[in-house]
Amino acid sequence: MNIKENIKKIIIKKPLTLDCGKTIENYPLAYETYGKLNEKKDNAILTFHALSGDQFVSGTNPITNKSGWWSHLVGPNKAIDTNKFFVICANVIGGCMGSYGPSNVDPTTSKTLGTNFPVITINDMVNAQYNLLEFFKIDKLFCVTGGSMGGMQALQFVANFPNKTKTAIPIACSASHSAQNIALNELGRQAIMADHNWNKGNYINTSLSPNKGLAVARMAAHITYLSKKGLQEKFGRKLQERDDLKFSFDADFQIESYLRHQGSVFVDRFDANSYLYITRAMDYFDLIKQYNGNLSNAFKESKTKFFIISFTSDWLYPTSENKEIVIALNASGADVGFIEIKSDKGHDSFLLDVPDFLKSVKNFLDANY
């Protein structure tokens, strides 16, 4: 995977002490922006990406030449209207699209960091991205938002910086990773580490990469982003370009071919070590534990107005987990709204063209701007 050098980056000189105890400084943070920051600097929306996302929210991703991951939501005249709002998104630290991550070179050894990169957390990601406010000289954001891991970052941001955003829209997320989700992430990590080419994370400088392991990890994860009903309606038991079963281990069924395709295209744009580090950060996320078992304490100092969104068919971050956040916000006295969107598209609903979702986000933003 070739990362073009024209990716926008800032070098963060300020030391950042990570939750693991290590300190980093002079590290790159890659970002992209959409729209224009107004004179009052009160129209900025900081968007956080999910596990497999990056800073290219809308338009055309210059690395993959595909549409940005939130193109349905962000852009001119869309729910997050870039004619009105200034949208910022950074590639998280630990990522592989220009920010400081395991693919970076250790200046002390001139070797790729690999698994010598420190284990990072959602808290670390958010603290690194806070530097963007100083870079753009923004005193207070209009909104922070994101889905899945992006929603976790939005929650962490408000907890860390209670008076630095007017509104927050955490989408399809939870306040701590469940045992089920930790197990699913571990399945993906083990697939990568079982690939001989992973070589204990030291594959960057070789001609080999753990593409098979990463592809399997992506295939397994992708299933969790969908719903049973959605899969059945789209694929059922349809055969892949054949009239009958071939009695082999080739992809007889369309769903098999679809998953193999998802795995194969993913390895062209993502780094296996980054997958390990980011999923680990998700598993370590526990905002409840950070506040001594009382989630409401995370928001007691905040005046931020919240809008929590979940989806009926999302079994990865179900409505029940999103409602736990709502209950905690109510207990803290926060201003909070909640909606469960009916959709058969599973967890991926927040990335897709789901009209009720797009309309809900637009109405909330317009009502509060």
Domain boundaries, the chain: 9-177+286-368, 182-278
Give me the mean pLDDT over the 73-98 stretch.
Answer: 98
How far, in Å, CA of 101 to CA of 85, rounded?
A: 29
3-state secondary structure of 202: coil
By three-state DSSP, how is residue 222 classified?
helix
**Is 314 an active-site residue?**
yes
Share of the chain above pLDDT 70, in %: 98
347 has catalytic annotation:
yes
Interval 332-336 mean pLDDT: 97
Measured CA to CA in angstroms, residue 262 lies from 259, 265, 349 at distances of 5, 6, 17
Query: Among candidates 220, 222, 242, which has minimal Cα distance to 230?
Result: 222
Is 222 among the catalytic positions? no
Nearest to 158, CA basis, from 264, 266, 303: 303
* pLDDT per residue as tens digits for the range 38-69: 999 999 999 999 999 999 999 999 988 999 99
Position 207 scores a pLDDT of: 83
pLDDT of residue 5: 62
Backbone angles phi, psi at 336, to 5 degrees: -140, 135
Averaged confidence pLDDT in the chain: 96
Q: What's the one-letter identity of residue 248?
A: S
> What CA–CA distance (Å, rounded) separates 222 from 238?
19
pLDDT at 2 over 80: no
Catalytic residue among 58, 99, 148, 274: 148
DSSP strand pairing (44-47 vs 141-147): parallel
Query: pLDDT tens digit string along 139-193?
Result: 999 999 999 999 999 999 999 999 999 999 999 999 999 999 999 999 999 999 9
Model confidence band, residue 1 (pLDDT cutoffs 50, 70, 90): very low
Position 4 pLDDT exceeds 80: no
**Residue 107: predicted pLDDT:** 83
Distances (CA, A) of 173 to 169, 221, 355: 11, 16, 20
pLDDT of 3 > 60? The answer is: no
- Please pick, among 347, 348, 349, 360, the residue that the annotation labels catalytic: 347
Between the CA atoms of 167, 173, 285 and 271, what dihedral angle is there, to the nearest 10 degrees?
-110
If one counts every other C-beta atom within 10 angstroms of the C-beta of residue 351, the result is 21
* Interacting residues of 147 by C-beta distance below 8 A, sequence separation 6+: 50, 171, 172, 173, 350, 351
- Return d(Cα 165, Cα 144) in angstroms, integer: 7
Which CATH number applies to 9-177+286-368: 3.30.70.1560, 3.40.50.1820, 3.40.50.2020, 1.20.1050.10? 3.40.50.1820
List, for residues 178-189, the tens digit of each pLDDT value: 999 999 999 999
Annotated active-site residue in 283, 314, 344, 348: 314
Map residue 361 onto helix, strand or coil: helix
Say which DSSP state 318 is in.
Answer: -
Fold of 182-278: Rna Polymerase Sigma Factor; Chain: A (1.10.1740)
Instruction: Kindly tell me if the per-residue pLDDT of 99 is higher than 90.
Output: yes
- pTM (2 decimals)? 0.96
**Arithmetic mean of pLDDT, 210-215:** 98
